[in-house]
Amino acid sequence: MPDHDPLIFAPDGSLARLRAIMRALRDPESGCPWDIEQDFASIAPYTIEEAYEVADAIENCDWTALQGELGDLLLQVVYHAQMAEEAGYFTFDDITRGISDKMLARHPHVFGNESRDKSAAQQVQDWEQVKAAERAARAQGGVLDDVALGLPALMRAVKLQKRAARVGFDWPSTDQVLDKIIEESRELVEARDTLTETEIAEEFGDLMFVMANLARHLKLDPEEALRAANAKFTRRFQSIERALAAEGRRPADSTLDEMDALWNAAKHQEKRDAAE
């Protein structure tokens, strides 16, 4: 067994222990072959997945799971930092220094001389002004230049629209957005009947983009709204499964009309429960 940093086996080693473990895993001579082979691109999907699992634990109010998921997410940060340090790009200390400096700069009402007597909305507006100044300092000329490509598509759509709205490129009310949804829906129907699969996908994407815009105008988070719709669908379909199982059947053994009736029964029951 190779000699390892004693910190690796120290239960109270905290973040320094985790970093030592990662260095050992990435050691070219004695580390784990899988960990050694990884790079930023191969680890990035795991980073995104772990962030969603953190959100899932919060959604379920599962605080024990949240502890574990936050650990998994922290591991992702340590992993990327270790690879960056090996490549000479930056260090873990650079990361913590950078985010600490950013928090100080973006909260002058806490760490500086600005008044703290302002609303949360005003603080958000001030935050955006500080970020705009940071982008200007980095000589980013385009309004959309730093909207991350790796964001989930729905989230990125909203961010792109918000950024464009800051310079006046936006519909003034939801009426125009709803008109655009009708227009894009018609174009999708026409594309379905006459165009190629690629062109149909483009029209579908246009419709999704406008739907994200409608959510923004309604001050809704489309990701959150879709998660709620997913949860509702899951809940009601599971009700269908339970009802059929009571009869010794499965969904595959029933008709669409039967399942639709059970769906409506579940829907009405939810409404009755909510009214009580």
pLDDT in tens, 63-97: 999 999 999 999 999 999 999 999 999 999 999 99
Domain ranges of the chain: 6-104, 113-141, 142-220, 223-275
**Residue 150 in this model has a pLDDT that exceeds 90:** no
**Residue 229 in this model has a pLDDT that exceeds 80:** yes
Q: Which residue has the higher pLDDT, 155 or 140?
A: 155
**CA distance between the termini of the chain:** 65
- In terms of Cα–Cα distance, which of 40, 269, 237, 19 is closest to 150? 40
Task: Lowest mean pLDDT of 128-142, 151-165, 166-180, 184-198, name the range.
Answer: 128-142
Confidence grade of residue 100 (pLDDT, cut at 50, 70, 90): very high
CA distances from 91 to 24, 27, 97, 217 (A): 16, 17, 10, 41
Handedness of CA 252, 253, 259, 263 (dihedral sign): negative
For domain 142-220, say whether CATH 3.30.470.20 is its number: no
Asked if the domains at 6-104 and 142-220 fall in one CATH topology, the answer is: yes
- In terms of Cα–Cα distance, which of 1, 82, 73, 95 is closest to 9? 1
Handedness of CA 144, 149, 150, 152 (dihedral sign): positive
According to the model, what pLDDT value does residue 140 have? 61
Evaluate if pTM is beyond 0.85: no
What is the assigned CATH class of domain 6-104?
mainly alpha
